[in-house]
Structure 1
Amino acid sequence: IFLDEIGDMSSQLQAKLLRVTQNGCFNRVGSNRELQANARILAATNKNLEDKVKAGTFREDLFYRLNVVELNIPSLRERPEDVLPLATYFIAEFTQGRARLSAALADGLARYSWPGNVRELRNAMERAALLSRGEMILPEHLPARVRAAVELATPAALPDAQRLEEIERQAILQGLREHQNNRTETAKALGISRRALIYKLQRYREQGFEV
């Protein structure tokens, strides 16, 4: 049995869980019949249970019953190398493997501190998957707080040629939005020929971008 956020468990539930860990007995809600449990318990929390024991909000006897094998998993800010693999996994999950992360996004995700840890990363990738509606996840698909950190990190993270290409692509996308996808007007505003604009859009599609 996996019990998540056990540090938030009420004192009444702590007492019932202690009984289960001591003799394996429990009663169903509304029943006086005693049943026997046959399960191993895996508990997780982002709280410091030792501090909660000292504060009197978590039972000391239950703490020692549960704390047989302890695994400490660092937060994402302490293991930035795990951010990209996790983000890639979540995007594959939410898009059934159809979408992938843009280079700018992949380079910048680890620069955000992720105070909400893996849950925040998962939620951000779910939002990006819903908004992308295509095969490429871009910084603009992220929540504002995450996007700000990614975009701040992008110029220093990308090589010069790749950075310039990203700036050009963003300018073209902005131009298309401002001119309601009118290619002639967009090309005129950008100071390039319509033929050059079409060529660039085709190249972006070949690279997996949604344009």
Structure 2
Amino acid sequence: MMPPNSSLFDQREQFYELILNSLTTGIYVCDNNYVVKFINQAYADYLGLPREQIMGRPITDFIPDSRAPFVTSTGQSEMGNIRKFKGKDGERMIVVNRQPFEYAPDTIGMLSQTLFSTRGEFDAVMKRIEYLDKKVASYERRIRSALSPNYTLQSIIGESDTIQRFKEYLVRFAQTNAPVLILGATGSGKELAASALHCESERREGPFVSINCAAIPKELFESELFGYAPGAFSGAHKDGKVGQLELAHQGTLFLDEIGDTPLPVQAKLLRVLENSTLCRVGSTLQRSVNFRLLAATNRDLKAMIAEGSFREDLYYRLSPLRLVVPSLHQRKEDIPLLVRHMLERMDRQDAKISKSAMQALLKYYWPGNIRELRNVLTSALSLCRNDTINLEDLPPEVLSDFGKLAVEPMEPHHDKLSPAAQLPDSPLQNTKSKKNTNLAAMLADNELHLIVSALNQYDWNVAKAARSLGISRATLYEKFKKYGISRNNYDS
């Protein structure tokens, strides 16, 4: 028995029209003059007009800014296009696919299809898209923050002739795109110099990727720098990983402690610098990279070349420009400014430093440079009383040469110090070694007093006391042994 109206299935045109009008998504077809040849009921409902009024007229009569002219004239499809127009229910947005009809070699028309049948469906998807856009924007902000420099040229504190000349060279080097090898002693501020170079360069808006080569395990070095393809090795992430070199694209790559780079990685890095392309570990796909290279070391790379632990060709690739960061002992005139700046960074603007303590800082050689100065101030602030750092608050190594001030005149460049740094004669002039011994005893007594006070404050809770003193529990227990501390002897 034939189903009712089975003859309809034999009438193709009516059958296809029935199918298209049954769709909840809108469809219309126009020729290359944009004249609508067919429109289904859903699309007519979007426009708010009867189908009969639309067919046979150009779609531009109803949608003046229609993309039909572009698609039919170029033969290019448009997928997922978001557009806004006024319909019967007011202004609304829809997502549209447009596909040209080709009858070789010409384009004879176009099909337009909406992707959503109701405003509710569209709004739900648009909210989802908006949410994902915000999430992507948040991730982009985090990435930009993580790949942004921490320091600028203004972060380099000092007014001495030495530091002014250094800044001049830095700014001039920043205007080029050549690699720079930054040389300097430990703690002198090589990373700060690299960051300032990036900020002064034309790549300042790009990423600043800083890598400490000494901190990466050798077995992970290659995958960290170059990234890896999915399944490149056991334990690799299923989606692979972007390497640090790719992250630096259009920006600056800073390789600190370059002397610690393994030899096999040095060869691969050299190829990247020569060809501006790389392959991730486990992949043969060439990827273009464009970054400005900065490298830093406190090691003698030429001596490493002689012993075979550093490639000579890579050295010359890294060092067309060499920037030497001055050590602190070469610019002691800047110490008062540095001290004030560090105290402000520690949120101790109220702290003062006595003239004798400042004179001791100026006399010291500072083998640990800026980093050592910061540590000395941190220690002194924890020991000082009445918010004033005095001579006895400084560590013994800083005071070791201070007694020589009586027979050794101040260096000539100290004449340029600010009035606050022009210091009177030291009270320790002409003192003997016994005085130094007494000073050491005084410092030990201060340390013991601080430890016992902290223990009493926290009812001899060792963990809390150690945390308040800024040391580990293991270190505090060592102090127990050193000073013979026990609760029976010192409990208040």
TM-score normalised by the chain length of structure 1? 0.61
Cα displacement (A) at 1:118: 2.5
The structure 2 residue matched to 1:104, chosen from 351, 356, 376, is 356
Cα displacement (A) at 1:137: 2.5
1:70 matched residue in structure 2: 322
1:50 matched residue in structure 2: 302
1:20 matched residue in structure 2: 272
The structure 2 residue matched to 1:159, chosen from 424, 436, 439, is 424
2:116 matched residue in structure 1: none
Return 5+ residue gaps in structure 1 as ranges: 165-173, 181-211
1:202 matched residue in structure 2: none
Counterpart check, 1:4 vs 2:263: no
1:1-211 correspondence runs (5 A):
1-27=253-279, 32=283, 34-132=286-384, 135-150=387-402, 152=403, 158-159=423-424, 163=427
Specify which structure has the higher proportion of helix.
1
Rg comparison, structure with higher value: 2
Amino acid in structure 1 at the alignment position of 2:365: S
Alignment partners' CA distance in 2, 1:23 and 1:133: 61
Distance 1:43 1:101, change over 3 A: farther
Return 5+ residue gaps in structure 2 as ranges: 1-252, 411-422, 429-441, 450-492
- The one-character-per-residue Cα deviations of 1:20-48 (angstroms, maximum 9, x if unpaired) are 322233455x6535543332122221122
- The one-character-per-residue Cα deviations of 1:93-127 (angstroms, maximum 9, x if unpaired) are 22353323321122221211112223222322233
Q: Over aligned residue pairs, what C-alpha RMSD do you find?
A: 3.2
Worse-matched range after superposition: 10-19 or 49-58: 10-19
Alignment partners' CA distance in 2, 1:38 and 1:126: 41
Alignment partners' CA distance in 1, 2:333 and 2:343: 17
Alignment partners' CA distance in 2, 1:130 and 1:39: 44
Worse-matched range after superposition: 49-58 or 92-101: 92-101
Between the aligned residues of both structures, percent identity stands at 40
Alignment partners' CA distance in 2, 1:7 and 1:75: 20
Matched positions, count: 164
Cα displacement (A) at 1:69: 1.2
TM-score normalised by the chain length of structure 2? 0.29
| Contact in 1 for aligned 2:356/2:424 (Cα 8 Å) | no
Higher relative contact order (CA 8 A, sep 6+): 1
Specify which structure has the higher proportion of strand.
2
2:243 matched residue in structure 1: none
